[in-house]
Amino acid sequence: MVPGGLRAEVWDLVIEGPTYRLEVPHARVSLAAGFIFGRDLVLNSVWMDGPRVHLHPVPGPAKEPTLKQPLLIHNLQVAGGTVTYAPPPPTGEIVLRDVALDGAIGFDGMLEVKSSGGLWNRAQPLQIIATQARLKVSSRLDVDVESFETGTALTRIKATGRLGRVGILHPDLKVDADLGLHDLRQIEALPAMEGRVALSGRWSQPGDSVHLETQLNGSGLRLAGWPVDHASGRLGYYAEGEGRTVVSLALAGFGGQSQTDVTFEGSRARATCARAST
């Protein structure tokens, strides 16, 4: 602490909650006068070097953050961070590296978030390309996503919408993706696929679950080695229990039209197919 200057320097700080752990090797904080006297939680600036955030959802209802007063930060600067998200099995851990933050919390203006890349740890790991986002974070830590862009070497994903409050996130996001089908090799029950499809839909989190519901369209595809001129339909993912994926596709190719409906529950698959020749 620097007397009179309302500044503090911190080493090896650890903050832990039910769903997260924050480790900060080194930080500098400039405090507003009201913070010292307990009137409010206003920080002139916060700088962190190399923080590590580990997120791990827990079963049961989420709890409100423990903040008793609004939090306001005029200038937040973070460099060299690492964010790890560890969902329940069988979903693999997601790691974002070299995370940087620049902006404000609780004031006008945006919080800019960037990452140089990362990894989705699966049986066949997926490399995540550079990620960037523009967030509006309120003094109660409610997060709105003005823009979000990430992806892999084959896939690009964009999202906007409401993320929820830190500690009790309930996302309701509009998602658009340009999906490289080769990335779906992670799902063992699926046949080999090549080509690209466009997805547009919503990602939401009712209760403790996660729902993804999208419409898809694609042309010039190959499914299990067969050419498909055009595909359109619906893709849904519902995380309750073992997880359920529902695919309903109208396919044009193979010299005719066909309708395919597939449901995956855990590692099990159930499919029906109706074909109409032209």
* Predicted local confidence at residue 9, as pLDDT: 94
Give the model's confidence band at 2: pLDDT under 50 very low, under 70 low, under 90 confident, else very high: very low
138-181, pLDDT tens digit by residue?
998 999 999 999 999 999 999 999 998 887 778 899 999 999 98
Contact criterion met (CB below 8 Å) for 255 and 226: no
* Predicted local confidence at residue 3, as pLDDT: 47
* Predicted local confidence at residue 210, as pLDDT: 79
Give the model's confidence band at 254: pLDDT under 50 very low, under 70 low, under 90 confident, else very high: low
Give the model's confidence band at 4: pLDDT under 50 very low, under 70 low, under 90 confident, else very high: very low
Contact criterion met (CB below 8 Å) for 137 and 126: no
Q: Which residues pair with 272 in a beta bridge?
A: 261
Contacts of 188 (CB under 8 A, 6+ apart): 123, 267
Q: How far apart are CA 145 and CA 164, in angstroms?
A: 10
Backbone angles phi, psi at 76, to 5 degrees: -110, 125
Q: How far apart are CA 218 and CA 221, in angstroms?
A: 7
Kindly state the average pLDDT of the residues 21-37: 86
CA distances for 32 relative to 6, 38, 154, 188, angstroms: 7, 10, 47, 55
Judge whether residue 37 has pLDDT over 70: no
Tell me which of 200 and 57 has the higher pLDDT. Answer: 200
Residue reference for tokens 């595809």: 221
Longest dimension (CA), the chain: 83
Kindly state the average pLDDT of the residues 105-134: 93
